[in-house]
Amino acid sequence: MTLRIYNTLSRALEEFSPLEAGHVRMYVCGMTIYDLCHIGHARMMMAFDVVQRWLKASGWRVTYVRNITDIDDKIIRRALERGITIRALTDEMTVAMHADTAALGIEPPTLEPRATDYIPQMLSMIGTLERKGLAYRARSGDVNYAVRKFPGYGKLSGKSLDELRAGERVAVSDDKQDPLDFVLWKSAKPEEPPEAQWDSPYGPGRPGWHIECSAMSCATLGETFDIHGGGADLQFPHHENEIAQSEGATGKPPARFWVHNGFVRVDNEKMSKSLGNFFTIREVLQRYDAETVRFFLVRTHYRSALNYSDAHLADARQALKRLYTALSLVAPNALAQPTAPAQIDWSNPWAARFKAAMDEDFGTPEAVAVLFELASEVNRTRSAALAGLLRALGGCLGLLQGDPEAFLRAGAGLDEAAIAAQIAARAAAKKAKNFAEADRIRAELLAQGIALKDSPTGTTWEAVR
């Protein structure tokens, strides 16, 4: 089956094959790093982590670029508020982002360009746009893009120019020829620190938000690449403006597929820092283990809205425990070496169904359903081969690679020695036919969040809360 991806540009599922045989080039708009990442940011990075994992599992080499925006109005303001340099702030937040993504098992991109390292490329592209009559110098010293001079503007959002509204991050300037025009180069302001200014043919200043990604994607992946991704909120104006800039400068479409993930919502509102209804990744990881958070993010289709709540995370934890319980039923050495995706026999019926789900626009809900059905079969058969396959397929989503017993025991209120002593006391009570005492010990442990599981080989336990 051929991989099909929903292309926002065409509003349809399209068969995917890379421009260069065997090699996929993907650019995803990354973080503006002035604060800690929240769970909405994690959702975006997780969505494209799964995308790149599946592309690799499908046999392609992937060059995955996810940028860092390290110059921006909010970054400048936060650095001034804290009394530190812009670089100190962005370095601190980059380290924090990397720690958070590593905790969630999000693999690092192949390249992670910082916007401030690509100022020359941005100025070169702005110069090209000016020569082509697509950019003009305003009285303020800014350089703006003349939207109405680019015939294809609006094709990503699917709206006419008259339907669109200016979407720039700052208020519309009086010296724009059209309200929809957006800034390519911002002239320096007296209150801004010297480190927020670069020399240019237009005077000292800094790049606009949109030109950054056009320049970085072109410099790292070429004038046209395979996939451009990001959150649904970037479709307009950011990605619309990227198309105008890149295609205006090169005459070529920047990307063949435009892919957007859905929002995380809290009480039916988009999670965002501007609304103040966000939870940082670190806050969430203080309450839930990282794999549960990952599973919560992965099991919903990347284009669907995802509702954040404690109840949903608790449900994700219980669901993940069902999968790990199946893995715990086979001998540990059968799972010692997880099968790499490249070694999976995709003709196996379970694997084939998993692949069919993922090949239909990265259909993780259907793929996860296959994992649960396979887990039920492992429960029934105790087959080490099927347990190994369950783990390997889970690995395609970054799941089920931990020790099953350790996962099932995580969160216990008692230490392992205390639990082992209680299990031994219960075994002694059963041997003495004191079943009331044995039942009391079981009930007492359960009240403390420890569930006992009896089997012919002995008694094991897992945490249930």
List, for residues 15-55, the tens digit of each pLDDT value: 999 999 999 999 999 999 999 999 999 999 999 999 999 99
pLDDT of residue 457: 74
- Reply yes or no on whether the pLDDT at 262 is more than 50: yes
List, for residues 339-365, the tens digit of each pLDDT value: 667 689 999 999 999 999 999 999 999
Binding-site members for Zn(2+) are 29, 213, 238, 242
Strands 61-69 and 23-32: parallel
Q: Distance between CA 248 and CA 150 in Å, rounded?
A: 7
Task: List the beta strands (DSSP E) in 232-286.
Answer: 255-261, 264-266, 269-270
pLDDT of residue 166: 45
Residue 391's contacts (CB-CB under 8 Å, 6 or more residues apart) are: 327, 335, 338, 339, 400, 401
> Contact 397/365 with Cβ under 8 angstroms?
no
Q: Beta-carbon neighbour count of residue 432 at 10 Å?
A: 10
| CA atoms in the 13 A half-sphere facing the CB of 28 | 31
Q: Which of 274, 293, 276 is nearest to 284 (CA)?
A: 293
* 193 vs 440, higher pLDDT: 193
Q: Which of 334, 313, 349, 462 is nearest to 391 (CA)?
A: 334
Average pLDDT of 289-309? 96
Q: Distance between CA 20 and CA 226 in Å, rounded?
A: 9
How big, in percent rounded to 5, are the helix, strand and coil portions of the chain?
A: 45, 20, 35
On the 0-12 / 13-18 / 19+ scale of CB atoms within 10 A, 20 is middle
Domain 310-407, architecture per CATH: Up-down Bundle (1.20)
Domain 18-261, architecture per CATH: 3-Layer(aba) Sandwich (3.40)
Q: Beta-carbon neighbour count of residue 89 at 10 Å?
A: 21
Band of the pLDDT at 425, cuts 50, 70, 90? confident
Q: Distance between CA 135 and CA 51 in Å, rounded?
A: 35
pLDDT of residue 447: 65
Binding-site members for ATP are 273
pLDDT of residue 171: 52
Binding-site members are 29, 213, 238, 242, 273
Strands 4-7 and 12-15: antiparallel
Say which residue the tokens 């209680």 belong to: 422
Band of the pLDDT at 168, cuts 50, 70, 90? very low
Q: Beta-carbon neighbour count of residue 132 at 10 Å?
A: 14
- Reply yes or no on whether the pLDDT at 213 is more than 80: yes
pLDDT of residue 91: 97
Residue type for 249, please?
A
On the 0-12 / 13-18 / 19+ scale of CB atoms within 10 A, 255 is buried
Residue 171's contacts (CB-CB under 8 Å, 6 or more residues apart) are: none
179: phi then psi, degrees, rounded to nearest 5 = -55, -25
Return the SS3 of 423: helix
Report domain extents, the chain: 18-261, 310-407, 411-463
Strands 23-32 and 225-231: parallel
